[in-house]
Amino acid sequence: MSDIYELIRERKSVRTFDNEEVTPSQRENILSYAREIKTPYDIDVEIRILDGGMHGLSSPVIVGADTFIAGKIRQQAHAEEAFGYFFEQLVLHIQEMGLGTTWIAGTMDRKAFEEAMEVTEGEKMPCITPLGVAAEKRSVRETMMRAGIRADSRKRFDEIFFDGSAGMPLSESRYPAISKVLNAVRLAPSAVNKQPWRAVVTESGVYFYIKHDKGYVDKSGWDMQKIDMGIALCHFGLCAEADGIRTTFTLDDPELDAGGLEFIAGFIIDGGTV
């Protein structure tokens, strides 16, 4: 992958496409890359590239694309985070290819997509994305949607990162070795741009927590906002690796003062954050 920071900065959700067909070589590139993706959770994710006309697939928010990528995963502990980590890495690769995507979890014919993905009992198909070349001009609907969720805005650095405990906002200058990585986390996409991730930074590493919003957990216990957490973790992991920062991924709760937030995962940094 080329400059990961540039890919993260430049990527925007695309809902209006130019009707150009995705080529066989592009499809194979995506599938080949997906087979090589590894997440810290070591949980398998299956993706398929689906033709809308063949399977009767549609989304009311998408214009000009008839090709979709869908993924499924077996429901288990940390499946949501693993899916988010996996799918975001794939999305960033597709960005590098010059193609457009957008995460879709709700505004689609879910039944048709699940049938095309052959989702069985115990499996989840959390999200899909259309796939294609972005149109030169966004549709009116897309423009209104982006404005409605303030798609281009993000929370301030000191709103989501904390110094040792949840009550102490972190300044960007406190740990200069990782401030660029943290800013890449800040730019991560999330459902309705809720940005549920929070991180407490200590001298040993960075520990991620979730700030839950109502309405994102279904009756089976599947938590859509934990997919967002996986996306944020992906940004941290890829950018730390790109900067040569050696980390160890951990699911062990460091029992920090996190203001009652739920611990998700952490990155212990070799040599510390200083």
Q: What is the CATH number of the domain that holds 253?
A: 3.40.109.30
Average pLDDT over residues 176-198: 96
CA distance 106 to 35: 26
Are residues 118 and 56 part of one domain? yes
Are residues 117 and 12 part of one domain? yes
**Is residue 150 a part of any domain in this protein?**
no
Q: Which of 106, 124, 17 is nearest to 59 (CA)?
A: 106
Are residues 196 and 243 part of one domain? yes
The domain boundary residue, chosen from 81, 110, 141: 141
132 pLDDT above the threshold of 70: yes
Range of the domain at 135: 4-141
- Residue 271 pLDDT class (50, 70, 90 cuts): confident
Q: What integer pLDDT is reported at residue 141 of this predicted model? A: 67
Buried b (16+ CB within 10 A) or exposed e, 81-112: bbbbbbbbbbbbbbbbeebbbbbbeeebbeee
Are residues 233 and 203 part of one domain? yes
Are residues 209 and 130 part of one domain? no
Element (H, E) at 249: strand 247-250
Are residues 189 and 79 part of one domain? no
Are residues 119 and 186 part of one domain? no
Are residues 263 and 184 part of one domain? yes
**Is residue 219 a part of any domain in this protein?**
yes
Are residues 183 and 93 part of one domain? no
Q: Which of 261, 154, 256 is nearest to 211 (CA)?
A: 261
Are residues 32 and 124 part of one domain? yes
Q: What integer pLDDT is reported at residue 79 of this predicted model? A: 98
Are residues 130 and 200 part of one domain? no
